[in-house]
Amino acid sequence: MTTIDAAATPTAAPGLRANRRYQLVWFSGAISMLGDIVFTTGVVLWVGAFIAKGQTWAPLAVSGVLVSAMVPTVLLGAVGGVYADRWNRRRLMLVCDLVRAVVIGALILLPTFGNGLHIAVKLTLIYATVAVASAFAQFFNPARFALLGTVVADSDRERAGSIGQGTQAITSIIGPPLAAPLLVSAQSGVQWALLADALSFVISFFAVLALKVTRAEVEPDASTRSSTAMQDFRAGLRFIGQSRTLRLIITAIVMVTLGAGAINVLDLFFVTRNLHVSPALYGLMDAAFGTGMVAGAIFFAVVGPKIGAARVFSGGLFLGGVAIILYSRSTTLWVALIILFLLGLPLAGVNSMSGPLLFRETPKEMTGRVIGVINPVQEVASFASIAVATWLASTVLRNLDAHVLGLHFGTIDTIFFASGIVIAVTGAWAVAALRGVGAPGTAAEGPPTVTEALEAAAPPRQATPEESRQQT
């Protein structure tokens, strides 16, 4: 067991190659991320292809898996962020890894019952497992994010953010192909998918266990320990509300999520109606976009520190919006694939640079609360985007067939076009608003300190009788 000293927080040395602490935190997140993707893909296929096979309610059963993962994010995201700032972050990560390994490992026994359990019981157990794993992820993720900001030197944050984005893109590409063959070959394959996810948390546990940190790096200061959880939560909201940069980052993330959600839910129809190709080629779209994300992450890992986080973030938003507009006007498959690849480049920059900007605008004592607010807000924006886009496509814009300035506008491409406009306008606003913000060693002006935020969030102290008499 690693000893945690009570020494003051040291400054992280620059250079990621020699930074073993960063490597351990990165590896912990990467292996957990890969396990989660294999788990989610495996469970979705398990429910849809085996448990609910041939049933008219199979799509509803599959959606229950996604809802079970989403609800804890919305309900517990902010709570997890608060306690990631109140508790020992390293210890919190260890507990979350162990609990998820045990809960998901226990689900491996479910297929052994065969038809001995009612379908409703099986689905309930699956949904409960997904919900518990998602709930503990709401505590693990902000703790890991905050710890990553502690062990990485400020000058390395752009590069670390790009590596993290590249890792996420790669795992999202290779994860489903790892899980799908297991499930389509035999129902027992789901046990291998579950085992892979459980082992990923075990490996993550030992990676975090090997992490050498001081007490000051993973535990809150005295001001946080003396406050209540509700005071900490209000302090976090007040801090975000008084930081122009954080408000802009959150707004930009919401705008991108709104646009991306519409594309994710309607892209299949765009492929068949606008590109006039078989649904079998739909997978090429994800491959092109994912490849662009990986290439963008590699590119910005090199040039990101030179350009600066704020410029990459705001410029990436604008270029991403323009790319979506161009994508909405494409009518052939090869043009659409090229545009999707190009779209992945700036969006990789946006995702890579949001972390460095957040770290430079937020004291380490509040990092968990800030990310704890962003995650559920983004999840709600994603749900709202899907709901609005599907509603527009099914009702108001269902029969749209218009020509403007020689351009044809139909149902799906119009929604995509509007999404691109929104993101591009947000990017143009961010270019002006983030000018001079987010360079290494700098911080935005205006946000209160942790102590000030906590004092502002605390209820007013009642004056004593003696003080009242003096005031009178």
Are 35 and 200 spatial neighbours (Cβ–Cβ below 8 Å)? yes
Quick one: 199 and 250 in the same domain? Answer: no
Q: Please state, in angstroms and rounded to a whole number, the distance separating the CA atoms of residues 261 and 430.
A: 21
**In 10 A of CB 310, how many CB atoms?**
26
Quick one: 25 and 84 in the same domain? Answer: yes
Whether residue 315 lies inside any domain: the answer is yes
Whether residue 470 lies inside any domain: the answer is no
Quick one: 257 and 207 in the same domain? Answer: no
Quick one: 431 and 318 in the same domain? Answer: yes
The phi and psi torsions of 3 (rounded to 5 degrees) equal -80, 135
Whether residue 47 lies inside any domain: the answer is yes
Whether residue 122 lies inside any domain: the answer is yes
Whether residue 397 lies inside any domain: the answer is yes
Whether residue 233 lies inside any domain: the answer is no
What's the confidence (pLDDT) of residue 184? 56
Quick one: 37 and 120 in the same domain? Answer: yes
What's the confidence (pLDDT) of residue 13? 62
CATH number for the domain that contains residue 200: 1.20.1250.20
C-alpha distances (whole Å) from 233 to each of 31, 85, 226, 230, 364 are 30, 10, 14, 5, 15
Are 267 and 415 spatial neighbours (Cβ–Cβ below 8 Å)? no
Quick one: 159 and 270 in the same domain? Answer: no
Domain residues for 191? 20-219
Quick one: 169 and 296 in the same domain? Answer: no
Q: Please state, in angstroms and rounded to a whole number, the distance separating the CA atoms of residues 187 and 45.
A: 10
| Count of structural domains, the chain | 2
Quick one: 189 and 271 in the same domain? Answer: no
Are 158 and 309 spatial neighbours (Cβ–Cβ below 8 Å)? yes
> Which pair of structure tokens corresponds to residue 95?
């507990």
Quick one: 254 and 204 in the same domain? Answer: no
What SS3 string covers the chain?
Answer: CCCCECCCCCCCCCCCCCCHHHHHHHHHHHHHHHHHHHHHHHHHHHHHHHHCCCCCCHHHHHHHHHHHHHHHHHHHHHHHHHHHHHCCHHHHHHHHHHHHHHHHHHHCCHHHHHHHCCHHHHHHHHHHHHHHHHHHHHHHHHHHHHHHHHHCCHHHHHHHHHHHHHHHHHHHHHHHHHHHHHHHHCCCHHHHHHHHHHHHHHHHHHHHHCCCCEHHHHCCCHHHHCCCHHHHHHHHHHHHHCCHHHHHHHHHHHHHHHHHHHHHHHHHHHHHHCCCCCHHHHHHHHHHHHHHHHHHHHHHHHHHHHHCHHHHHHHHHHHHHHHHHHHHCCCCHHHHHHHHHHHHHHHHHHHHHHHHHHHHHCCHHHHHHHHHHHHHHHHHHHHHHHHHHHHHHHCCCCCCCEEECCEEECHHHHHHHHHHHHHHHHHHHHHHHCCCCCCCCCCCCCCCCHHHHHHHHCCCCCCCHHHHHHHC
What's the confidence (pLDDT) of residue 3? 38
The dihedral formed by the CA atoms of 161, 177, 375 and 271, expressed in degrees to the nearest 10: 100
Q: In angstroms, how far is CA 426 from the centroid of its own chain? A: 20
What's the confidence (pLDDT) of residue 44? 83
What's the confidence (pLDDT) of residue 329? 94
What's the confidence (pLDDT) of residue 225? 59
Task: Look at strands 402-404 and 407-409 and give their pairing.
Answer: antiparallel
Whether residue 10 lies inside any domain: the answer is no
What's the confidence (pLDDT) of residue 231? 87
Q: Please state, in angstroms and rounded to a whole number, the distance separating the CA atoms of residues 22 and 149.
A: 9
Output the tens digit of pLDDT for each of the chain's 472 residues: 333 443 444 566 677 888 999 999 999 999 988 888 888 878 888 888 788 887 888 878 888 888 898 899 999 999 999 999 989 999 999 999 999 999 999 998 888 777 778 889 999 999 999 999 999 999 999 999 999 888 998 888 989 999 988 888 888 887 777 666 655 555 566 787 788 889 999 999 999 999 998 888 888 765 555 678 888 888 888 999 898 889 888 988 888 888 888 888 888 889 888 999 887 777 788 888 889 999 999 999 888 888 888 999 999 999 999 999 999 999 999 999 999 999 999 999 998 998 898 888 888 888 899 998 888 998 889 888 888 888 988 888 888 888 888 888 999 999 999 999 999 999 999 988 888 665 555 544 333 444 444 344 444 444 444 444 444 3
Quick one: 176 and 30 in the same domain? Answer: yes
Whether residue 342 lies inside any domain: the answer is yes
Quick one: 95 and 157 in the same domain? Answer: yes
Cβ-based burial of 462 (10 A; exposed 0-12, middle 13-18, buried ≥19): exposed
What's the confidence (pLDDT) of residue 134? 93
Quick one: 204 and 299 in the same domain? Answer: no
What's the confidence (pLDDT) of residue 434? 84
